[in-house]
Structure 1
Amino acid sequence: MRKGIVFVAAAFLSACAGEVDDLPLAETDATAAGIIGGTIDEGDPAVAMLQITRGDASVTCTASVIAPKVLLTAAHCVQPGRVQGATLRAFFGTDSRSEEETWVNVKETHFDPEYDHADIHAGHDIAVAILEEPVAIQPLPYNRAPMTEDMAGEPVRLIGFGDDDEIFGWSGVKHHVSTIVNTVTPLLLGLGDAGHHTCQGDSGGPALMDMNGVPTIVGVTSFGNASAPRICTDGWDTRVDLYLDFIDQFVNAP
């Protein structure tokens, strides 16, 4: 299942973690927290909640500012079947339920054309959302150096607006957790352990590693495995270093 697509109403279909998509979900619990094993993140202003609304139903993912008008997120969050006819906007802050809300509309989205929703292990789960207006937030750098297998065991920090109670839920509150890189494959990063990983609502969010002392996006939350239906147990990220040509074209656009 896709990790992190959270439906606030059951009119849309998706799933939390594992390898089965398009399961009907019940109404979410807006009091749940986000990121398994994490704590509330009052920093990281460049990490936003991406909300996709069609009618009375909303989908939420996570995204990162990589240029004043460009958010980096996951392809499965913005594939045509989910964004066609929908209104998209990004929330910048810690708690999207607070009265001090900062929302910016999204005017368009683009995803890697080689992404295949039917094959979650094939990579290419990467996309951008273009804001209607620039934000005055320092963009996060994204990794340009090849990831290698010997990076396994190195620290990584995960950020997202998703669930943290190991079951279906939604928070709209930004959380983060420190964990490790488990695996570096030719396509993906395996991140976290049983008690520290991403879950529902975290899709598209960043995995940050210190590169020369600078927090840098090395992965974008893609999917997870499950020990039981809708129970998140680990996380897999799209490797950012493999898709520089795709990302750069939007960052460098006039």
Structure 2
Amino acid sequence: MKVFVVLVLAIASASAGLLPQAVPVHPRDSTAKPSINGRITNGKNAVADQFPYQVGLSFLGLKGSWWCGGSIIDNSWVLTAAHCTSGASYVTIYYGATVRTSPQYTQTVSSSNWIQHENYVSLTVRNDISLIKTPSVTFSASVNKIALPAIASRYSTYVGQTAVASGWGLTSDTASAVAKDLQYTDLTVIENSVCQKTFGSLVVTSRVICVATPKGTSTCQGDSGGPLALDSTLIGITSFGSPDGCEVGAPAAFTRVTSYLDWIKTNSGISA
């Protein structure tokens, strides 16, 4: 994996609350050596077939390799974060894995097979979403899709509801061991106004969903692009967190899927 890519916000504004108290960083690894470390901090081990929609994504680009997560939304489509696909040439998709190194099978596709949001802006973490077109897969107990939110729910804030995040990100801020098992944790959705106190309103827009991270439980490096699910429905895509670490108690942020239902349908033909 790579170390966090620190996003330098160079947008000047005199309005209070626009600029962040903390610079948001993607949970994506940026070291020169390609490796895959850790898991969700202070999470639990998933059991076989618990998250059949979860995939692992091993990206390769000119600047090295990195690991992300993704969600199956159709036989031929995986949804992930734009900061995961950005700069990559190829991705190997790991399907049906609970033990990371033992997927049911893998597929490797090139960048010509994905659609990164045309208005993705890394500096302000805008439109952090990508679609990956894959060869068709056969669904099973280990490999299956997750539902997208219904159009009627696009105005739901989900505040106060508990959703589940999963992935193979770091187990702690000091972790160096390779993760063996898929991890998951329950996280409670918070008001965007609370999240804006940390990251500012230029970053935390209505198209972002934030969760609290009590007791050092959070998404971390390697979880980028992975799912935030509520009642077997995909409501978020792991996007960014605090530069101070995953266990410091700062909010974790996700791309709000309900804000991109039209974009997903236009580019893939998939709707709820």
Q: CA deviation at 1:154?
A: 1.0
Q: Structure 1 vs Structure 2: percent identity of aligned residues? A: 23
Q: CA deviation at 1:237?
A: 0.5
Q: Secondary structure at the match of 1:243?
A: helix
- Which residue is 2:43 aligned to? 38
- Which residue is 2:202 aligned to? none
Superposition pairs of residues 46-195 of structure 1, within 5 angstroms: 46-54=53-61, 57-79=64-86, 82-83=87-88, 86-92=89-95, 93-98=97-102, 102-107=105-110, 108-120=113-125, 123-136=126-139, 137-144=143-150, 145-149=153-157, 151-167=158-174, 169=176, 171=179, 173-184=181-192, 186-194=206-214, 195=216
- Which residue is 1:3 aligned to? none
Structure 1 contact 89–103 (Cα < 8 Å) conserved: yes
Residue 19 (structure 1) aligned to one of 12, 21, 24: 24
Match for 2:98: what amino acid? T
Q: CA deviation at 1:171?
A: 2.8
Match for 1:104: what amino acid? Q
1:219 is the counterpart of 2:236: yes
Structure 1 contact 162–172 (Cα < 8 Å) conserved: no
Q: CA deviation at 1:233?
A: 4.5
Q: CA deviation at 1:133?
A: 3.5
Q: CA deviation at 1:50?
A: 0.7
Q: Secondary structure at the match of 1:227?
A: coil
Residue 266 (structure 2) aligned to one of 245, 249, 254: 249
Residues 93-131 of structure 1: per-residue CA shift (max 9 Å, x gap): 112224x652122241111111101212xx311111111
RMSD value, Cα: 3.2
From the superposition, tell whether residues 23 and 166 of structure 1 become closer, same or farther in structure 2 (CA, over 3 Å): closer
From the superposition, tell whether residues 238 and 143 of structure 1 become closer, same or farther in structure 2 (CA, over 3 Å): same
TM-score (norm 2): 0.73
From the superposition, tell whether residues 157 and 20 of structure 1 become closer, same or farther in structure 2 (CA, over 3 Å): closer
Query: How far apart, in 2, do the equivalents of 1:27 and 1:118 lie?
Result: 25
From the superposition, tell whether residues 56 and 224 of structure 1 become closer, same or farther in structure 2 (CA, over 3 Å): closer
Residues 65-87 of structure 1: per-residue CA shift (max 9 Å, x gap): 000010000011112xx21xx32
From the superposition, tell whether residues 168 and 248 of structure 1 become closer, same or farther in structure 2 (CA, over 3 Å): farther
Q: Which has the higher strand share?
A: 1
From the superposition, tell whether residues 119 and 157 of structure 1 become closer, same or farther in structure 2 (CA, over 3 Å): same
Q: CA deviation at 1:19?
A: 3.1
Structure 2 contact 219–246 (Cα < 8 Å) conserved: no
**Paired residues, what number?**
231
Structure 2 contact 38–222 (Cα < 8 Å) conserved: no
Structure 2 residue runs of 5 or longer lacking an equivalent are: 8-21, 193-204
- Which residue is 2:222 aligned to? 201
From the superposition, tell whether residues 24 and 61 of structure 1 become closer, same or farther in structure 2 (CA, over 3 Å): closer
Structure 1 contact 41–176 (Cα < 8 Å) conserved: yes
Structure 1 contact 62–160 (Cα < 8 Å) conserved: yes
Query: How far apart, in 1, do the equivalents of 2:124 and 2:64 lie?
Result: 26
